[in-house]
Chain A
Amino acid sequence: MAKGAGERTDVLQGTLDLMVLKTLETMGPLHGYGIARRIEQMSDDLLKMNEGTVYASLMRLLQRRWISSSWGASENNRRARFYAITASGRRQLTKETENWGRIAGVMARLLRAAERS
């Protein structure tokens, strides 16, 4: 289901962070490539992004100590950095998930109201 470039949704920075965090929560420790694949798979290719931005997002999360990183061997036995969610990361995820739900609800109501008028 290939779509034109124009129809791709730009990924907001904060949203990407949330997606990375959620991915790490459900999948356990992953390296950057794995995270990119998982997000691609979950979005059914609807979301297109420069996968490099995942690494910027990982750095932001590292700085806030919501995730931690360690070195290990990847599936093809190359040295790779694995990222894992931390306890404070989980707390943040819960908070952000609620937040996101609220915003989504508000947006949905707002947009519907705008449609009606």
Chain B
Amino acid sequence: MWARLVLIVSRLRFAWSRRRVDDEIRGELEAHLALLADRYVHSGMTPEEARLAARRQLGSVRAIREEIYDMNSLPFLDTTAQDLRYATRLLRKNPTFALVAMLTLALGIGANAAVFQLVNALRLRSLPVDRPYELVSVGIDQHGKGRVGRGYAGRSIFTEPLWQEIRSQQQAFSSLFAWGNGGWDLSTEGEVVFGRGLYVSGQFFDALGVRAHAGRLLTEADDRKGCGSPGAVLSYAFWQARYGGNPGAIGQTITLDRRRFDVIGVAQPGFFGVEVGRAFDVALPLCAEPLIRGPQPATGRRDAWWLDIIGRLKPDWTLERAQSHVAGMSPDIFRATVSPSYKPEIAKAYTSFTLTATSAATGVSNLRNAYATQLWVLLGATGLVLLLTCANLANLTLARSSARGREIAVRLAIGASRRRIVRQLLTESALVSGLGAAGGLLLARWISQTLVSVLKLGPAPVFVDLTPDWRVFAFIVAAAVLTCLLFGLSPALTATRRDPAATLDPGGRSPTDRHQAARLRRALVVVQVALSIVLVVGAVLFARTLRNLAAVDLGFDPRVVLASVDLRRTTVPPEARAGAFAAIAARIRDVPGVRDAAETLIVPLSGGDWNSRIVKGGVAQEGDVHFNEVGGHYFRVMGTPLLAGRSFDDRDRPDTVRTAVVNETFARRHFQQVDPIGQTFQMDLPPGAPQPVYHIVGLVKDAKYLAVREERTAAIARFSARESSSMFLPIAYLPVSQNTMPPPDFRIVVRADVPLASLTRALTPAITEAAPGAAVAYDAVANYIDALLVTERLIAWLSGFFGVLAMVIAAIGLYGVMSFLVTRRRTEIGVRMALGAEPRTVIRMVLADSGRLLACGVVIGVGLAIPAARYAASLLYGLPPSDAASFGLGISALVLVSLVAAWIPARRASRLAPAAALRE
């Protein structure tokens, strides 16, 4: 075995330099000849005789050289090179085929590779840290459904007291760390500059094995309770972007939420954190949280969920052992950390939670769960496109090999083995698919980058590491090999199966061979039609979904500008905040071009949520109600009509009765038969807290709150105990003016006649005039809707593109096959026409033949499309997966295009001059 390997390797080596080796051997042989001749001259021959004698003794120099040359060649490589040269020549001779084949393949492989690259980045690739396979993510079973309290952005599932308990009790991990996401303002004054923050516990960098690129990283010593203003660590990318990679940045201060922190170091390049899809700019130790978040920190709170935990397994521990370990310590941990604000039944649910441990080698991700179905659907669609491309190429290749039937027959007849010819035909396919794959690789990068830029997640840009790794390359190579075999093998086998004698016979036709090729081509068209049906119907379903979503009645007019105002760094005392926000709104109303403005706690569709159950007549009601706190002008600004009663005004003061405005769904659910105006309810609050009674003073039209597809929000709203299946959520609006302690950050919705850019220039001075030192950030509510619908739009566009592509490819396929069949039946058609068949009859005959193929394809395609659509049902809106209209539309579009494609050869057949056809 080893000896064989040595032989192959050195043969390769000699083959590589065999020109040089040959030169050397020639030199040696000539020297040898000269030495022999010298010897003969010494023994008395004439130089002429000596040379001849030497020649005889050495033998033929040419023969020796040839023998050695052959010895130093690998016949396999030689033949392949020869085949490749031949294939290149053939492709050059037929540039249209080459171009169509390579373009469609590049598109097919590129789209597949792009989606695969995303799947890879989100699901398969390991974190860029030391020994990622040892990392284990700690969680709560069933994702901790039913956790009560304040949740912060993202997927965070632990409270700070829980983290402390787990850290002190666990045995399974050699190191354990927690982290939480934060969005921090990087500006020093005026408008907010958003930065992606990360709170990390002391062991974070150490446990991950991340090294400092410059300066030092945070350690256990930095993360001590009450650490005041600790040091900050920058990500490499942020350091490059903001400081231009200047080492002088270390030791400078950075402003986060208007507090100053020392920059102590930069993390190693490529480290983006542990959450796939979200990169960080600045990391602070956990102990900095009270300083940043101000008077109401999450640290120490037993009902504030803002941390995630990952640990590194001890060397001799398995994941299973760690799982049972954390499960075993769960009861103690949860019993020790029950929040005093919990009512008995909630506390009971809380103490029954169990900790889980799952592998975190590929990181954790929100994005992964959010886009799983979409990615698989996209990968499925691109896979179908590739299959379709292969079927089409197989058809084209088959047509080409029939045209080359004579050539192949001659080669078979003069003794080429079938194997050899199949190999040569496959080399041609491999060349095409190889070039296609190369094109696909280039396209893939561009396509996947476009996809990522479209998949945005809130204000933080999505970060997905798309550097192609071995998996992506392996995928592309596999795709290329597979396509090559798919479209090259069966035509090659069919082409060489023919009987050379029959093909070479000038007038003769070999019906059986031709028949076989024709049958294969017809089958391929059926496959193409079937695959196209799936793609076209999918495209129609997704397009209609997008249209349905765009036409959804939101209950408000989204053309609203949004100014987020943060009063934390101002001198405004907490009890004066409500007044300050009202004053800012009033001041904004005076800005030229502004029609109206109102303050609000939560902006619909922004992702913000405040919900609770309500108590009516002393009885807690089933199902969550969503709340908002708004100013009196809110409904006018948003364009949500007031149906009865009044909006808030200066009658609603802290010292008057608590009032509320409710929406129709609220009224319908909780006051079915009675007029809601004048009714009262309470919030389901923990005992001990004040229990105000809210008097309903107004009824407004329903409006969207969490999502355009409100019925899907149940899965997203982790804190909802009961799911709502209606199109709108029940909402109760409360007046800001009655809140004595509003939070320091609030939003002002502004309806204006001028565009956003020019408006913000006027708004910032107005706001800072009303509240000096306030931080402001702008956005448009319409952006939220775009962000919420972005995947739907993306899928609709992509599937539409694939659908059209599929139709075109299927039409090309049908056209090709019908032309081929018509040519084959020239004589028959000629006879028919000579015997008096009308051109119409001929057209009908050809179209009927196409119709049979189409019908087969459609039936199979519908059979495939129904389960496919059912899989994608969760991505559809306002129509069932087996929507008859969409299927009908898709099928008729495809049939129409295909019949047009078939009609061209049909007409050509009908114009056949019978005499010409018969003479052949």
Contacts and interface: CB of A to CB of B under 8 A. Distances in A.
A56 B22 CA distance: 12
Contacts of B14: 59, 62-63
Interface stretch (B3-11, B222-230, B696-704, B748-756): B3-11
B59 interface: yes
Interface string A3-33: 0000000000000000000000000000111
B59 A50 contact: yes
Contacts of A81: 24, 28
B27 to A, nearest CB: 8
A112 to B, nearest CB: 35
Contacts of A64: 3, 6-7, 10
A62 B68 contact: no
Contact of B32 (A33, A60, A65): A33
Contacts of A55: 25, 28-29, 64, 68
Interface string B41-64: 000000000000000011111011
B40 to A, nearest CB: 13
Interface in A26-83: 31-33, 36, 50-53, 55-56, 59-60, 62-65, 74, 76, 78-81
A55 B24 CA distance: 11
B900 interface: no
B320 interface: no
Given A33-B35, A52-B60, A63 B29 contact: no
B156 interface: no
Contacts of B6: 64-65
Contact of B31 (A50, A52, A60, A78): A78
A77 B553 CA distance: 99
Q: How large is the interface on B (under 10, 10 to 19, 20 to 34, 35 or more residues)?
A: 20 to 34
Contact of A33 (B36, B60, B67): B36
A53 B72 contact: no
Contact of A50 (B3, B24, B35, B58): B58
A20 to B, nearest CB: 14
Contacts, number: 66
A27 to B, nearest CB: 16
Contacts of A80: 28, 31
B559 to A, nearest CB: 79
Most chain B Cβ neighbours within 10 Å, of A36, A53, A56: A56
Contacts of A76: 35
Given A59-B71, A63-B71, A52 B29 contact: yes
Contacts of B36: 33, 51
Nearest to A74: B31
Contacts of A79: 27
A53 B11 CA distance: 19
A81 B11 CA distance: 19
A52 B71 contact: no
Contacts of B67: 56
B28 A32 contact: yes
Interface string B13-40: 0100000000011011101100110000
Contacts of A62: 10, 14
Contacts of B32: 32-33, 36, 51-52
A56 B64 contact: yes
B65 to A, nearest CB: 9
B10 A65 contact: yes
B643 to A, nearest CB: 94
A81 B61 CA distance: 17
A51 B72 contact: no
A16 to B, nearest CB: 13
Most chain B Cβ neighbours within 10 Å, of A52, A63, A65, A78: A52
Contacts of A74: 31
Given A51-B59, A53-B64, A63 B11 contact: yes
Contacts of A56: 64, 67-68, 71
A65 B4 CA distance: 11
Contacts of B64: 50, 52-53, 55-56
A2 to B, nearest CB: 13
A14 to B, nearest CB: 15
Most chain A Cβ neighbours within 10 Å, of B6, B35, B57, B71: B35
B862 to A, nearest CB: 62
A59 B68 contact: yes
A72 B653 CA distance: 107
A52 B7 contact: no
A114 to B, nearest CB: 34
Contact of A52 (B3, B10, B58): B58
Contacts of A33: 31-32, 35-36
B72 A52 contact: no
A52 B11 contact: no
A110 B61 CA distance: 39
A63 B61 CA distance: 21
Contacts of A51: 32, 36, 57-59
Interface in B47-104: 57-61, 63-64, 67-68, 71-72
Given A31-B28, A50-B58, A52-B58, A60 B71 contact: yes
Contacts of B71: 56, 59-60, 63
Contact of B59 (A31, A52, A59, A60): A52
A51 B27 CA distance: 15
A50 B10 contact: no
A63 to B, nearest CB: 5
A74 B34 CA distance: 13
Contacts of B3: 64
Interface in B840-882: none
A33 B749 CA distance: 99
A65 to B, nearest CB: 5
Interface in B233-285: none
A78 to B, nearest CB: 6
A75 to B, nearest CB: 9
B50 to A, nearest CB: 15
Contacts of A60: 71
Given A32-B28, A52-B29, A59 B72 contact: yes
Most chain B Cβ neighbours within 10 Å, of A36, A51, A78, A79: A51
A64 B4 CA distance: 8
A63 B28 contact: no
Contacts of B68: 55-56, 59
Contacts of B29: 52, 55
Contacts of B31: 31, 33, 74, 78, 80
B3 to A, nearest CB: 7
A76 B28 CA distance: 14
Nearest to A75: B35
Contacts of B35: 33, 76
A15 to B, nearest CB: 17
Contacts of A36: 32
A59 B21 CA distance: 10
A27 B63 CA distance: 28
Contacts of A53: 59, 64
Interface in B289-335: none
A96 B59 CA distance: 28
A36 B31 CA distance: 13
A60 B14 CA distance: 11
Given A50-B60, A55-B64, 14 more contacts: A31-B28, A36-B32, A50-B59, A53-B59, A55-B28, A55-B68, A56-B68, A59-B68, A60-B71, A63-B11, A76-B35, A80-B28, A80-B31, A81-B24
Interface of B: 3, 6-7, 10-11, 14, 24-25, 27-29, 31-32, 35-36, 57-61, 63-64, 67-68, 71-72
28 contacts: A31-B28, A31-B31, A32-B28, A32-B32, A33-B31, A33-B35, A33-B36, A36-B32, A50-B59, A51-B32, A52-B58, A52-B60, A52-B61, A52-B63, A53-B59, A53-B64, A55-B64, A56-B71, A59-B14, A59-B25, A59-B71, A59-B72, A63-B14, A63-B71, A63-B72, A78-B31, A80-B31, A81-B28
Which 5 A-B pairs rank lowest in CB-CB distance, beginning with the nearest? A50-B59, A52-B64, A52-B59, A63-B10, A33-B32
